[in-house]
Chain A
Amino acid sequence: MGLIAIEWVLEYHDRWTNPANTRANAEGFYNTLNATQKFAHGDDDAQDKHFEQSGVGAPLAGSDTAKVEKVDMVYFAGHATSLGFEFGVEKDDARAKPAEIRWGDGRLKWVVLNACNVLVDNPGFSAIDRWGPAFRGLRYILGFGSLAADEATRGGLFAEHLNEGDMISEAWIKACEATEESGTVWAYLRADGNGVSTERDTWIDDADTRNKPNPPGPLHYLQGEV
């Protein structure tokens, strides 16, 4: 059975407005998915360095090998911009930035960033160029290409669809459709490579696979409106 983790932030210590539903959102995922629960960090225990690789980018701190690389899927719920996703405490610099991230060299396969604008794609500001170097065996990043609501039930719905055998991408789109206002942009990035196609990944069939799309071939980015 696959391993999962969550990190969520309700208390931003005046760095941002405080969300109301990120905990319920992430815990809905954690408590619904048929999986082995590895860790759940909230508020000040949730930290950007858990997602970052040591020695990469700036600041250089990173502990992903002991944290998110120990699970198959991690789900983050909090604030973000197109520059990265945001945490409440400045143990590092409180922002996990693509340039600090290398995912998939451990166990990690799928990352859900339940946060605004994190997968925005614009001319001159390409999601593939920005996030591409983070793919080192990782299969998917799922998130939003626009503003999104601070909503409590999305993680649980995503997990329900995964439990039913929906493809990872389809489960995310369905969860976004059911929890977002018309006009919100869902988005995902995925990697094929090394003879591995991830287009039809499911939690049920692929959580335990050891095949990695690494080195990654061309990346695939998809976005659509709810």
Chain B
Amino acid sequence: MLIKPLQLPSTPASLPVYRTIPPGWTLEGAARFAMKLGVHAPAKASELWFVCRDEESRVEIFRASNSWRMTRGAFDREGTTSGPEEIPSDEVAVERANAFIQGLRDIQMARALPPTLSRIKAITGVPGGAPHSNRTVAVQANYRFALDDLPLKGPGAKAQVTMGTSGKIDRAYLFWRQVERTEERWTTRPAAAALDALAKSPHFASVIRKKDVELLQIQVGWLCLPPTSVQDTLFPVYQIRGRLIVEADAPREEAEAPREFLVYVAAAARTPPQPARLDTADRWPELVIA
């Protein structure tokens, strides 16, 4: 049985179609951009990205989107050579990360939502032995985005700034696509209809006849594919998080180990009416249950 939440999100009857603007990276343009991140080196091309690398850092610029990643070679990710007292405080981390992101507004015009903080945790120890050494080695400021008050979902619209013990920005990335709003509209379908499609899909149809599957969270948003993927259109989707419920007589440890899943279900019954480029057909991506 598919156990649905009591309340489902409400979705506008239609949503604008947002087309992406191809990034148009060139070797020279990639090298110029890398200079903004402090890396002065020519760009080398590979299939998915341009790479600029100097003695200190490496910048990858993703050819399919307006995305980049910067990594410092000396980043002490496991915190083995310096102490935790040098990690910036939460306030300093947010201030420094905001300044860094603001300095790159010419590539990414959307306003980020206020960042959340997370930490890289390192643990060293002997199995079953003395208490393990547990330390925080870096703080991460995480940015998400929204469009028309709907969150951008999936891997391709987010940013992160990581600061370890060096006093510098050790890692950073921005995954993004520039978009333009068109006159076209998606005709959406309500969450209940999307859940019906989910229940009938080959991924769920059989198992829900024999087991209980509980849907815990349903959110509507725009799906943004990985920064390495060409994407013509932002896709309206329901992001659904759920779990398989274990049998009532299952051992306690089974009940405490959640059998979770995360899926994306199309929030429109059809693909956009006028595909922009037939060679990269605007069909639902493999990540989406249509």
**Chain A contact residues, CB within 8 Å of chain B:** 12, 14-21, 24, 79, 81-83, 116-117, 121, 126-129, 131-133, 147-153, 157, 160, 164, 169-170, 174, 177-183, 199, 217-226
Pairs of residues from A and B, 7 with the lowest C-beta to C-beta distance, nearest first: A132-B127, A224-B120, A81-B257, A225-B118, A221-B123, A182-B158, A18-B203
Q: Could you tell me which residues of chain B, from 238 to 290, have a CB within 8 Å of some CB in chain A?
A: 239, 241, 244, 253-254, 257-263, 286-287, 289
| Contacts A17-B244, A81-B258; A182 near B142 (Cβ below 8 A) | yes
A82 neighbours in B (Cβ, 8 Å): 257
User: Could you say which residues of chain A place their CB within 8 Å of the CB of B153?
Assistant: 181
Query: CA of A173 to CA of B257 in the docked complex: distance in angstroms?
Result: 24
Asked whether any CB of chain A lies closer than 8 Å to the CB of B128, the reply is yes
Cross-chain contact B126 with A83 (CB below 8 angstroms): no
Q: How far is the CA of A178 from the CA of B289 in the complex (A)?
A: 20
Partner of A16 from the list B125, B158, B259 (CB cut-off 8 Å) is B259
The answer on a CB contact under 8 Å between A129 and B78 is: no
Using A132-B126, A177-B175 as known contacts, list a sample of 14 further A-B pairs with CB atoms less than 8 Å apart, ordered by residue number in A.
A16-B207, A18-B202, A83-B254, A83-B257, A128-B132, A129-B127, A132-B128, A149-B287, A151-B155, A178-B175, A179-B226, A182-B144, A220-B123, A221-B125
Residue from A129, A152, A180, A222 in contact with B121 in the complex, judged by beta carbons closer than 8 Å: A222
The smallest C-beta distance from B263 to any residue of chain A, in angstroms, reads 7
Q: Decide if B227 is an interface residue (CB 8 Å cutoff).
A: yes
Contacts of A149 in B (CB 8 A): 154-155, 262, 287
Question: Are A170 and B71 CB-contacts (below 8 A) given A16-B244, A21-B287, A126-B132?
Answer: yes
Residue in B123, B202, B207 whose Cβ sees the most chain A Cβ within 10 Å: B123
On whether the beta carbons of A20 and B142 are closer than 8 Å, the reply is no
Question: Contact: A219 with B126, CB < 8 Å?
Answer: yes
Q: Name A170's closest neighbour in chain B (CB-CB).
A: B71
How far is the CB of B164 from the nearest CB of chain A, in Å?
11
On whether A219 and B203 interact (CB within 8 A), knowing A178-B226, A199-B78, the answer reads: no
- For B49, the closest partner residue in chain A by CB is A160
Q: How far is the CA of A14 from the CA of B211 in the complex (A)?
A: 8
User: 30 A-B pairs, CB-CB below 8 angstroms?
Assistant: A14-B206, A14-B207, A14-B210, A17-B203, A18-B202, A18-B206, A20-B287, A24-B286, A79-B259, A81-B258, A83-B257, A126-B123, A128-B123, A132-B126, A147-B262, A148-B262, A149-B155, A149-B262, A152-B286, A160-B47, A169-B77, A181-B262, A182-B144, A199-B78, A219-B127, A221-B122, A221-B124, A221-B125, A224-B119, A226-B158
B119, B142, B263: the one within 8 Å of A150 (CB): B263
Residues of chain A within 8 A of B175, CB atoms compared? 177-178
Q: How far is the CB of A81 from chain B (nearest CB, A)?
A: 4
Q: Is the CB of A17 within 8 A of B289?
A: no
A21 CA to B121 CA in the complex, in Å?
30
- If A128-B127, A218-B126 touch, whether A153 touches B203 (CB-CB below 8 Å) is no
Alpha-carbon separation in the docked complex, A129 to B262 (Å): 28
> How far, in angstroms, from A220 to B121 measured CA to CA in the complex?
11
Q: Is A150's CB under 8 angstroms from B254's CB?
A: no
Query: Closest residue to A126 on the B side, CB-wise?
Result: B132
Shortest distance from the beta carbon of A220 to any chain B beta carbon, whole Å: 5
Q: Complex: how many Å from CA A225 to CA B289?
A: 26
Residue in B51, B80, B118, B229 with the greatest tally of chain A CB atoms within 10 Å:
B118
Residues of chain B with a CB closer than 8 A to A116's CB: 260-261
Nearest-CB distance from B74 to chain A (Å)?
Answer: 12
Q: Is the CB of B228 closer than 8 A to any CB of chain A?
A: yes
B165 at the interface (CB under 8 A from A): no
A172 to chain B, nearest CB (A): 12
List of B residues within 8 angstroms of A18 by Cβ: 202-204, 206-207
A131 to chain B, nearest CB (A): 8
* Closest Cβ–Cβ distance, residue B172 to chain A (whole Å): 11
Contact of B262 among A14, A128, A150 (CB under 8 A): A150
Q: Give the shortest distance, in Å, between A53 (CB) and chain B (any CB).
A: 16
| Separation of A170 and B71 alpha carbons in the complex (Å) | 10
In whole angstroms, how far apart are the Cα atoms of A24 and B140 in the complex? 31
Q: Find residues 122-139 in chain B having any chain A CB closer than 8 Å to their own CB.
A: 122-128, 132, 137-138
By beta carbon, the residue of chain B nearest A20 is: B203
Shortest A98–chain B CB gap in Å is 10
The chain B residue sitting closest to A81, CB to CB, is B257
Question: Does B189 lie at the interface of the complex (its beta carbon under 8 Å from any beta carbon of A)?
Answer: no
